[in-house]
């Protein structure tokens, strides 16, 4: 069942910054958007200083059917949730996230399962890494309330391009497992070094939140545990976004025929 992510109190939801707005447009153009753009608001001064961007936004509005409107600098500050908006905003509908039935086990799939998503900045960083390292999607049991724009900004817009499934994580993992996926946990106990473990696809990687880790129910479904080796003594763990990035890169590296065409 598709799950809508509602904005609290029915207040308008704005995404600020050309990077976020461009990602929303790209998702709508690709037919993969989970929300619609209602209108794009541009600060008055930008119509002369940002002519190319304004032209791009107007062309997109004609394709996708949203409005482009001028606003004052004061109006821009009133709807901003941060300093990096650049005078450009999109008012959008709440997102609708597909549930576990939409998770389709594929021959070469790689899903990340996040057991806990408390911090919107951390979640945005995780989504950016997963998108860049080729994940088929992110499966999570919850999204931070009212933080859609923050997640999008932290992900550099990639939260709107990465498939996200909002559902019972245990049910989704069982679905993947029955479809031939191996299930790996980012877990230190009884673990293998990720650089030498077999991370061939299809694979689902379960990562816990920083507060509670991975639940015992999800751990019981795993085929292997993997760890990131440290080069200095340390009894703690890496931040969730760092751990997911390192492991997602290792999975991509093991399953890629060679360096990515867009590597830097």
CATH number of 100-255: 3.40.1280.10
CATH number of 10-96: 3.30.1330.30
Residue 83 is predicted with a pLDDT of 67
CA–CA–CA angle 250, 167, 150 (5° rounding): 70
Structure confidence by residue, pLDDT tens digits, 185-207: 999 889 999 999 999 999 999 99
Query: How far apart are alpha carbons 58 and 60 in whole angstroms?
Result: 5
Structure confidence by residue, pLDDT tens digits, 74-111: 999 888 876 678 899 999 999 999 998 888 777 779 99
Q: Compute CA distances 180 → 33, 106, 112, 224, 264, whole Å.
A: 28, 9, 15, 15, 34
List the domain boundaries for the chain.
10-96, 100-255
Closest CA to 173 of 160, 161, 185, 163: 185
Query: How far apart are alpha carbons 79 and 22 in whole angstroms?
Result: 18
Q: What pTM was estimated for this model as a whole?
A: 0.89
- Quick one: tokens of 178? 């029955």
Helix (H, G, I), strand (E, B) or coil at 71: strand
Neighbours of 243 (CB within 10 A): 21
Backbone angles phi, psi at 206, to 5 degrees: -100, 130
Structure confidence by residue, pLDDT tens digits, 135-167: 999 999 988 888 999 999 999 999 999 999 999
């Amino acid at each position: 069942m598709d799950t809508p992510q509602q904005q609290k109190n029915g207040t308008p939801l704005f995404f600020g910054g050309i990077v976020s707005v461009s990602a929303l447009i790209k998702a709508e153009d690709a037919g993969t958007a989970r929300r619609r753009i209602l209108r794009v608001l541009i600060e008055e001064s930008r119509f002369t200083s940002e002519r190319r961007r304004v032209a791009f936004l107007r062309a997109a509005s004609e394709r996708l059917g949203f409005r482009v409107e001028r606003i004052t600098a004061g109006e821009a500050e009133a709807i901003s949730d941060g300093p990096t908006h650049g005078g450009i905003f999109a008012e959008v509908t709440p997102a609708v996230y597909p549930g576990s039935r939409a998770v389709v086990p594929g021959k070469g799939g790689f899903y990340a399962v996040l057991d806990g998503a408390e911090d919107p900045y951390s979640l945005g960083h995780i989504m950016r890494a997963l998108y860049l390292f080729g994940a088929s999607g992110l499966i999570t049991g919850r999204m931070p309330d009212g933080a859609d724009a923050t997640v999008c900004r932290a992900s550099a817009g990639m939260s709107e391009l990465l498939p996200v499934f909002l559902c019972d994580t245990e049910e989704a993992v069982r679905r993947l497992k029955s479809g031939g996926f191996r299930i790996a946990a980012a877990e230190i106990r009884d673990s293998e070094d990720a650089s030498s473990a077999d991370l061939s696809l299809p694979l689902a990687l379960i990562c816990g939140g920083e507060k509670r880790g991975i639940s015992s129910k999800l751990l019981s479904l795993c085929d292997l545990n993997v760890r990131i080796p440290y080069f200095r003594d340390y009894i703690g763990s890496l931040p969730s976004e760092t751990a997911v990035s390192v492991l997602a890169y290792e999975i991509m590296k093991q399953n890629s025929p060679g360096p990515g065409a867009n590597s830097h």
